[in-house]
């Protein structure tokens, strides 16, 4: 019975993707267009002779980054911010399911839909035209596990930053800051092996590389240890979840003081 309550929120997230078909089609188009743009940008850079890595290797990484980046589209900041501004967040707290569970299962549905609908065409295009190979069965299973953890890592990170909306009252700016950092540090925009070693090691001290660069290394078979990648993804999920829970406890006290 309780599982049914949770899945009802997942259905809402899925339904949003199915209802807004124009947005879905534009999302597919934007993913493919960005893939083409990245192709020509890196081709121009490679033509200048400034790359120490073969163009085929880079474009394969970039194509996979476009695919995996669709698993990081969580946007709980706007969801929370909208309800705080309208004063309806209290209604969400009255439901027989915790706010945490509502947010998680809703975003699982919404983000999973986007990940499959936008990511799959980009992956097929990458395999057909951009030298993106097909992993063996064992690597494919581990990659899918890593992709699921990427989805959860993105959701819990968005959940943690959404808790800050109780203080800022605005969600879009927090989401913009998070997505900007993710784009720069995760490998979604620039392959991390092109970043200078010292700076790259600093990147790896954050959760962002394990959202994109980690799964790519598993797909391409370049990870020193796939289990290490999975373990670090799980570790960051736990760390961010604990942080989010601490912020939520403070936010509830703030709601009690302001709302009685």
Predicted structure pTM score: 0.90
Digits of tens for pLDDT over the chain (260 positions)?
466 777 788 887 777 776 666 677 787 888 889 899 999 998 888 888 777 788 888 999 999 998 899 889 888 999 898 988 888 888 888 888 888 888 999 899 888 888 888 888 889 998 988 888 898 898 999 999 999 999 999 999 999 999 999 888 888 899 999 999 999 999 998 999 999 999 999 999 999 999 999 999 999 988 889 999 999 999 999 999 999 999 998 888 776 444 44
State whether the Cα torsion 20-68-58-56 is positive or negative: negative
Which residues, including other chains, have CB under 8 Å from residue 96's CB and lie 6 or more apart? 5
Contact between residue 185 and residue 209 where contact means Cβ atoms under 8 Å apart: yes
Alpha helices (H) along 204-260: 213-220, 226-259
Alpha helices (H) along the chain: 2-19, 21-47, 55-69, 76-86, 89-93, 99-129, 137-162, 165-168, 172-185, 197-203, 213-220, 226-259
């Amino acid at each position: 019975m309780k599982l049914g309550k949770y899945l009802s929120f997942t259905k809402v997230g899925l339904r949003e993707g199915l209802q807004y078909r124009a947005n879905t089609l534009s999302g597919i188009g934007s993913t493919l267009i960005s893939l083409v743009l990245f192709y020509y940008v890196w081709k121009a850079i490679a033509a200048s002779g400034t790359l120490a890595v073969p163009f085929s290797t880079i474009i394969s990484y970039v194509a996979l980054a476009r695919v995996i980046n669709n698993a990081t589209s969580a946007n709980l900041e706007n969801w929370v911010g909208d309800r705080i501004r309208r004063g309806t967040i209290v209604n969400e707290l009255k439901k027989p399911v915790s706010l945490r569970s509502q947010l998680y299962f809703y975003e699982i549905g919404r983000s999973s839909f986007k990940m499959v609908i936008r990511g799959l065409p980009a992956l097929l295009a990458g395999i057909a035209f951009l030298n993106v190979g097909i992993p063996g069965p064992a690597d494919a299973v581990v990659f899918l596990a890593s992709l699921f953890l990427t989805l959860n890592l993105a959701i819990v990170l968005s959940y943690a930053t959404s808790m800050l909306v109780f203080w800022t009252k605005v969600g879009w700016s927090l989401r913009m800051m998070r997505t900007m950092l993710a784009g720069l540090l995760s490998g979604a925009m620039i392959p991390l092996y092109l970043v200078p070693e010292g700076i790259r090691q600093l990147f790896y001290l954050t959760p962002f590389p394990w959202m994109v660069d980690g799964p790519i290394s598993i797909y391409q078979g370049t990870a020193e240890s796939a289990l290490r990648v999975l373990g670090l993804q799980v570790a960051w999920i736990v760390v961010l979840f604990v942080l989010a829970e601490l912020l939520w406890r403070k936010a509830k006290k703030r709601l009690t003081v302001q709302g009685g």
